[in-house]
Amino acid sequence: MGADSGFDMVPRLSQGNQDRREWERFLEGVKQYYADDEQVEVGPRVIQFKAGEWPSLPMEGHKFLRFSSKITGATAAKTGVENYIREVQELAKAVFGGRIRPWNELFDVWGFYRWDFVHATMKLHNLVGTPLESPAVWLVLPSRKDIATPEPIPLTSVNNQGNTDLYEVMAIPGRGKGLVAKVDIPKGTQIICEKPLFTLRSSAPPSMHHLVAEKLKLLPNDKQREFLSLHNNFPGQYAFAGIMRTNALPCGPGSSVGGIYSTICLINHSCIPNAHNNWNEEAQHETIHATRNILAGEEILISYANEPSQARQRKLRESFGFQCSCELCSQPLQAIQASDKRRADIEQLDETIGNPVAMMSSPQKSLAACHDLIHVLDQEYGGTVIALLARLYYDAFQICVAHGDQARASVFAERSYMSRVECEGEDSPVTQKVKGLMRDPTKHPSFSAYSTRWRSTRTARPRNVDANSFDKWLWKLSG
Ligand SMILES: [Zn+2]
């Protein structure tokens, strides 16, 4: 026996282009890192680490669930397997971020997937097996990151084109250009839908500079000028890379591919935004939706950062080159401190909700945390962070569905769906996915995965009751 350590990929990669390219990029990094290491062998099917229990990485990412080995015992110590685990984990994190779930039995942190599931997957794909024993059986936990909220990232100034019925590009004192509403824009309105000038995977500045130059050559002169007039927070030798870093919006949550837009890149930041940006993977375009009613004359603003004030201001300064003085940041110190407390609470609650062990053993507490989070979000943002609400309702959906509760799961999916429509539009693939789950929660892979203690049919929701009673039922509130 001995203690295992490693990391899991959660959720596992798809066979889609983006996941495939990221996996290839990761493997490239691994190969380069270990180019001179004889214990690491690149074969046709896997990269094999001849240390500990010989952990391996398949050439195709969708076949990958886990990289691990026993890290105690003479063999482990002699072959230095613990270093491989740590280094490969860091390389993976650099590409896949939060999708990499480290675990270590020495510290009572357990893997995400059951061992028998990992073994069956390796067998299915005919991967070189490591002599893994099959210890405890863990449940396959559903991933709350199934549907992640896009992380807002942004930029600054250029020329405008496209549909200007709703907004115009104007000079904004102290902030270059910005978009200002020409008419009253109701909440949920799609303000902009724009194809990128080009998209590019992020890379080191010298190579990025070169790649951008190649992309620019393919653009007409006016588009080249638009790109070159964008703000650059990283001036110097690799100017094109600097503009890209300052302005590119990720094509999807956590994506390392960024898109550059003539108009959307002009939208400024507010810590209390009134609009939301979203990448539609299917249509390959970026949309901007109003997340509250915006009055004619108001600037359209999205959020580049959600952290408490100190971390937020640092990020805005370092990545985008400005000190924020939005309606929140210009408040007296006391109000900013109250906001910081709420933002810390939001992070804390988010963590509680995302804890799969709690979701399994005390789902009522996880659900209560969702309920609390709604109130904190409302206090902090006044209901304008619809994308966060959409994710929160989806979390509540997952808690209920994992315990067999179709009635509540369906209501939460419906609320998540409504929020997605408002901030991403009906045609967003994520919106459509949630819509399908609203109609049939049993289609979710973790349906009844934890227990059936909350078992109910989809239509078992209370009828003809007031909103208050309905909410009490929905959130399982007593009293
Ligand atoms: Zn601010």
CATH code of 294's domain: 2.170.270.10
Over residues 229-235, the mean pLDDT reads: 85
Instruction: Note whether residue 162 is domain-resident.
Output: no
Kindly report, residue by residue over 264-309, the tens digit of the pLDDT.
Answer: 999 999 999 999 999 999 999 999 999 988 888 899 999 988 899 9
Tell whether 346 and 440 lie within a shared domain: yes
The mean of the pLDDT values for the chain is: 86
Cα–ligand 1 centroid distance for 261 (angstroms)? 23
Q: Give the residue from 286, 320, 354 where a domain finishes.
A: 320
Instruction: Note whether residue 260 is domain-resident.
Output: yes
Tell whether 226 and 100 lie within a shared domain: no
The pair phi, psi for residue 156, each rounded to 5°, is -140, -135
Match 């990448």 to its residue by tokens.
279
Q: Give the residue from 290, 320, 350 where a domain finishes.
A: 320
Instruction: Note whether residue 150 is domain-resident.
Output: no
Over residues 55-64, the mean pLDDT reads: 91
Cα–ligand 1 centroid distance for 164 (angstroms)? 27
Instruction: Note whether residue 273 is domain-resident.
Output: yes
Cα–ligand 1 centroid distance for 10 (angstroms)? 33
Tell whether 397 and 440 lie within a shared domain: yes
Q: At what angle do helices 363-381 and 386-402 cross, to 10 degrees?
A: 170
CA distances from 38 to 6, 47, 134, 139, 159 (A): 21, 12, 29, 37, 54
Q: What's the pLDDT at 164? A: 63
CA distances from 126 to 46, 67, 69, 123 (A): 10, 16, 19, 5
Tell whether 337 and 310 lie within a shared domain: no
Cα–ligand 1 centroid distance for 292 (angstroms)? 17
Q: How many distinct structural domains can be found in the chain?
A: 3
Cα–ligand 1 centroid distance for 415 (angstroms)? 29
Cα–ligand 1 centroid distance for 34 (angstroms)? 44
Tell whether 254 and 298 lie within a shared domain: yes
CA distances from 266 to 189, 251, 292, 320, 456 (A): 19, 17, 20, 13, 49
Q: Cis omega (within 30 of 0) on the bond before 142?
A: no
Measure the CA–CA gap between 352 and 314, rounded to whole angstroms: 26
User: What is the rounded radius of gyration, in angstroms, for the C-alpha atoms of the chain?
Assistant: 24
Measure the CA–CA gap between 440 and 456, rounded to whole angstroms: 13
Instruction: Note whether residue 325 is domain-resident.
Output: no
Kindly report, residue by residue over 302-355, the tens digit of the pLDDT.
Answer: 998 889 999 999 999 988 888 998 999 999 999 999 999 999 999 999 999 988
Cα–ligand 1 centroid distance for 289 (angstroms)? 20
Cα–ligand 1 centroid distance for 309 (angstroms)? 8
Supply the DSSP string of 331-375, one letter for each residue. S-HHHHHHHHHHHHHHHHHHHHHH-HHHHHH-HHHHHHHHHHHHH
| Residues 61/55, Cβ–Cβ less than 8 Å | no
Render the burial of 216-238: b for 16+ CB within 10 Å, e for the rest.
eeeeeeebeebbeebbbbbeeeb
Measure the CA–CA gap between 160 and 329, rounded to whole angstroms: 28
Does residue 165 carry a pLDDT above 80?
no
Instruction: Note whether residue 201 is domain-resident.
Output: yes
Over residues 145-170, the mean pLDDT reads: 47
Cα–ligand 1 centroid distance for 47 (angstroms)? 46
Tell whether 128 and 255 lie within a shared domain: no
Over residues 435-456, the mean pLDDT reads: 93
Handedness of CA 171, 175, 178, 182 (dihedral sign): negative
Instruction: Note whether residue 154 is domain-resident.
Output: no
Tell whether 316 and 430 lie within a shared domain: no
Q: Residues 56, 58, 64, CA angle at the centre, nearest 5°?
A: 95
Tell whether 342 and 275 lie within a shared domain: no
Cα–ligand 1 centroid distance for 308 (angstroms)? 10
Tell whether 201 and 237 lie within a shared domain: yes
Does residue 380 carry a pLDDT above 90?
yes
Cα–ligand 1 centroid distance for 300 (angstroms)? 14
Instruction: Note whether residue 89 is domain-resident.
Output: yes
**Parallel, antiparallel, or unpaired: how do β-strands 301-302 and 268-269 relate?**
parallel
Structural tokens at position 162: 């496209």
Tell whether 261 and 350 lie within a shared domain: no
Cα–ligand 1 centroid distance for 269 (angstroms)? 8
Tell whether 251 and 305 lie within a shared domain: yes
Cα–ligand 1 centroid distance for 305 (angstroms)? 9
Does residue 135 carry a pLDDT above 60?
no
Cα–ligand 1 centroid distance for 87 (angstroms)? 37
Cα–ligand 1 centroid distance for 338 (angstroms)? 14
Beta bridge partners of 109: 104
- Domain extent, residue 381, equals 333-474
Q: Give the residue from 88, 122, 138 where a domain finishes.
A: 138
Tell whether 408 and 356 lie within a shared domain: yes
Cα–ligand 1 centroid distance for 240 (angstroms)? 28
